[in-house]
Structure 1
Amino acid sequence: MTTLAHNPWFEKGMTYDEYTKSMKVNREELTRVYEQLTFTDEDLAVWKDVAKRNWRGIVLTADWCGDAALNVPILQRIAEQSSVELRYLIRDENLELMDQYLTNGTSRAIPIFIFIDEQGEKQAVWGPRSPEVQELITGLRSQLPAADAPDFAEKQNNVYRSFKEKITSDPAIWRTVIDSVKAAVRG
């Protein structure tokens, strides 16, 4: 992706307040994580180092996404501590950008956080999940019946509901996201 491609996307994005005010699905969960999240002194030292880089960030997300209910508030709080201005874009309204950041080259998994420098050049990308959260959902999905089973849809909905509740209420899971983001921004 060229430098010129990032800056227009950033300028097009919503602020965090605009994004949260537009939410219709997971605002309560997102707010809970945002308000209850805490950082260690070591976390704060990393965020202070990131602040020296003058980065900005583009977030591809959607309010229906359970992973976004977990990751968006954590990354927003990190951005606030790091003096990184984030701008939010709705995935399905920005597929041209989304398709440049596919998970495993095929999936439009969100949220995706694209950190850019002052010139608009990509410096780091993180998302959609920490490795531990990926392991959790992979394990839960492995317990589902075959996709053509009569109760598949019901069981899948129950899995995703319990998954979202767990990831948006368990600070140990939040810690995996913090540590994964730290690894990504350290380079």
Structure 2
Amino acid sequence: MKSIVAKGLFNSHSYTEYRKLVTDLLADGKSTGNEQSESLTNYTKLNEARMNRLEKTIIIEDYVISKLQNLKNHYIWLVLSEGWCGDAAQILPILNKMAVQSNKKIDLKIVLRDENEELMNQYLTNGGKAIPKVIVICKEAGIVRADWGPRPKGASKLMADYKRDFGVVDEKIKTDLQLWYLADKGISVQEELIEIMDNITYNRL
């Protein structure tokens, strides 16, 4: 395993630890990350509410659970994230439920982007440090098999089209993006991650 990825794993948190870290920082009026501002703290507060809701409402499809439980190997999903990130707030609860229902085939670990710059720089999106980013690691082989992120294809298209038409990322597109996630109900994340895991299994045959 590359030393940069190994270092990221060493610095990582479980989902429960990540949630507590974000909550504790909010209690002090802070957010995760190098930059601190009132707007980022407010985004983090919104994300706390979103994650609390999603943890109660997200349903993992039966076929997804079956595929996860029948994986031939054990994997780590190492996710680059920050508490202020709206996409991460929509996606992490889904990943956590998938991992929980995988019968220990998936171990979810979360690492903060700004504290792990070397790792983030290995998984840029169009040259940018977009998050969340899921790094799929095979435990048995100790190697990275795939990566995914920062958002599902449909959400990425929505964002790309808006930036093409208006040249900015403003509050309107941020609201539209959250509405997209609400309507999608976590299905796209499940389908795209399962497709990745299927491809890993297929490639081993």
The match for 1:178 is: 190
Q: In 2, distance between residues paired with 1:138 and 1:9?
A: 29
Q: Which amino acid aligns with 1:102?
A: L
The match for 1:77 is: 97
The match for 1:138 is: 160
1:113 paired with 2:134, answer yes
Asked if the contact 1:7/1:120 (under 8 Å) is kept, the reply is: no
The match for 2:36 is: none
Q: CA deviation at 1:167?
A: 4.0
Asked if the contact 2:58/2:185 (under 8 Å) is kept, the reply is: no
Asked if the contact 1:33/1:169 (under 8 Å) is kept, the reply is: no
The match for 1:158 is: 172
How big is each residue's C-alpha offset from its partner over 1:39-75, in whole Å with a ceiling of 9 and x where there is no partner? 222111111123x411112110011111101111111
- Structure 1 stretches of 5 or more lacking a match? 148-152
The match for 1:169 is: 182
- Structure 2 stretches of 5 or more lacking a match? 27-43, 200-205
Q: After alignment, is 95-104 or 134-143 more displaced?
A: 134-143
Q: Is the partner of 2:147 in helix, strand or coil?
A: strand
Q: Is the partner of 1:138 in helix, strand or coil?
A: helix
Asked if the contact 2:4/2:118 (under 8 Å) is kept, the reply is: no
Q: In 2, distance between residues paired with 1:179 and 1:40?
A: 9
Q: Which amino acid aligns with 2:136?
A: F
TM-score (norm 2): 0.76
Q: In 2, distance between residues paired with 1:39 and 1:18?
A: 22
How big is each residue's C-alpha offset from its partner over 1:17-48, in whole Å with a ceiling of 9 and x where there is no partner? 11111224111112222221112221111111
The match for 1:38 is: 59
- The counterpart of 1:91, out of the listed 113, 116, 126, is 113
